[in-house]
Amino acid sequence: MSNSNRVINIISNRNYESRNTKIKLIDILEEEGFVPTEEYNPNAELNICIGGDGAFLRSIHKHKFPNIPFIGINTGHLGFFQEISPTNMKDFVDRYANKEYTVEEIHLVEANVCTKKKCFTLTGINEIVIKGIKSKVVHLTMYINSNHLQKFCGDGIIISTPVGSTAYNFSSGGSIIYPTLQSLQVTPLSPISSKAYRSLPTSIVIPGELPIQIKPEFRYENSILIVNDGMEFRYDDIEEIVLKISDKKVYKINLSKNVYWENLKSKFL
| Residues forming the active site | 53
- What angle do helix axes 16-31 and 89-97 make, rounded to 10 degrees? 40
Give strand pairing partners of 142. 150, 214
Dist. CA 79–CA 75, nearest whole Å:
8
Dist. CA 245–CA 160, nearest whole Å:
10
Choose among 126, 129, 188: nearest CA to 163. Answer: 126
CA dihedral 75, 77, 82, 86 (to 10 degrees): 30
For 160, the enclosing helix (H) or strand (E) is strand 156-160
Dist. CA 14–CA 12, nearest whole Å:
6
Category of 110 on φ-ψ map: left (φ > 0), alpha (ψ -120 to 50) or beta: beta
Dist. CA 126–CA 121, nearest whole Å:
16
Query: Are 127 and 158 spatial neighbours (Cβ–Cβ below 8 Å)?
Result: yes
In single-letter form, the type of residue at position 171 comes to S
